[in-house]
Amino acid sequence: NAKNTLSIMGYHPEQIEQAIPEIKAFSEIGDYFEQPMRIYSSGMQMRVAFAVATTFQPEILIIDEALSVGDAFFQHKSFDRIRELQKQGTTLLIVSHDKQAIQSICNRAILLDQGRIKKEGSPIEVMDYYNALIAAKSHEDIVLKPTEEGKLQTISGNHKAQITEVKLYNSQGIETQDLQIGELATLNIQVEVLQPMKHLVCGFMLKERLGQVIYGTNTWFTEQVLTDVTEPQRINYQIQFAARLGVGSYSCTLALTGGATHLQENYHWIDLALVFKVLNINKTEFIGTNWLEPEFIIQRD
């Protein structure tokens, strides 16, 4: 099947023979590679299909949910190959429900619903809109609002409660948009309750500049849910956290909900509610989005 597919793609028999060992090794299905495909699982079929499609550099590579198959090692290997093909000039079209894959690989995204384009733009803008869309009920609004930085902010919810103010303070209690690595920071959130509700949950989520989620939690999981909020009132939330993050720009998404997630009842959801930078003033140099403060122990015999 691999040989037949490559021949249809126009490769010479000599090229195909040279490529088969690499395809077999990359697909990681062992002796099953020599067995009929009718005994393959769907995951095994996708492994071989992906290996065949990427053995030679294509001008255009179309992937339909293929990145979700296989174990973690195979997925990492597949992403590495895709990024290498991108560097070499291959145009990539991915059809997927994997938001993180889209955000980490693509520079443009299109959200389709029943065959129609609902949103087109940068991956982070489209994913923020998607998150709002799946939670939208008949009385919820979705608003797209440009920020001062030129990005598109997604705001949604039924507005039974609203986030009215967001500020970030450093370890000295000074309002800031710059934190040092490891510094203790405080996120101050002002909330106004407009209608009675059984539960009020406040949550926050940190994202790196490409929209990948670094961390997120809410008062449902910390068991600090406010119950039986029966009358309009103002509430202040303070979230303290250590900025154990890598150097770069980060955004904060805030949410007021009626349960563990915004899918149950979304009062107010704000993407890009606040943007801040993390600076390296006195730490050893490292790469990545998390500061682990490792210690090397070296022994020589």
In the chain, how many domains are there? Answer: 2
Give the pLDDT confidence of 55-101 residue by residue, as tens digits.
999 999 998 876 666 677 888 888 899 999 999 999 999 998 888 88
Residue 179 pLDDT exceeds 90: yes
Distance of alpha carbon 110 from alpha carbon 127, whole angstroms: 9
Q: Are residues 159 and 76 in the same domain?
A: no
Residues 49 and 145 both lie in one domain: no
192 versus 58: the higher-pLDDT residue is 192
Which structural domain, as residue segments, surrounds residue 146? 138-279
Is the residue at 177 inside a domain?
yes
Q: Please give the pLDDT value at position 138.
A: 45
Are residue 62 and residue 147 in the same domain, yes or no? no
Q: Is residue 229 part of a domain?
A: yes
Q: Coil, strand, or helix at residue 189? A: strand
Per-residue pLDDT at 29 exceeds 80: yes
> What's at 239, amino acid-wise?
I
- Residues 142, 238, single domain; the answer is yes
Return the pLDDT at 136.
66
Handedness of CA 190, 259, 139, 216 (dihedral sign): positive
Same domain (yes/no): 37, 158: no
At which of 64, 96, 128 does a domain end? Answer: 96
pLDDT for residue 259: 92
Domain boundary among 36, 65, 96: 96
SS3 15: helix
- CB contact at 8 A, 54 and 81: yes
Confirm whether 259 is domain-assigned. yes
143 and 271 belong to one structural domain: yes
Report the predicted TM-score, pTM, of the whole model to 2 decimal places. Answer: 0.76
204 falls within a domain: yes
Is the pLDDT score of 169 beyond 70?
yes
Q: Write down the mean pLDDT value for the chain.
A: 91
Domain contains 119: no
Q: What is the pLDDT of residues 215-242, one digit of tens each?
A: 999 999 999 999 999 999 999 999 999 9
Give 113-156 pLDDT, tens digit per residue: 889 999 999 999 999 998 888 766 545 678 888 877 777 888 99
Query: Can you give the CATH number for the domain in which 8 is found?
Result: 3.40.50.300
Query: Do residues 91 and 179 share a domain?
Result: no
User: Could you tell me if 168 and 274 are in contact, meaning their C-beta atoms sit under 8 angstroms apart?
Assistant: yes
Does one domain contain both 72 and 161? no
- Do 195 and 91 belong together in one domain? no
| Domain identity same for 143 and 89 | no
Mean pLDDT for 234-261 is 96
When mean pLDDT is compared across 7-16, 19-28, 57-66, 288-297, the lowest value belongs to 57-66
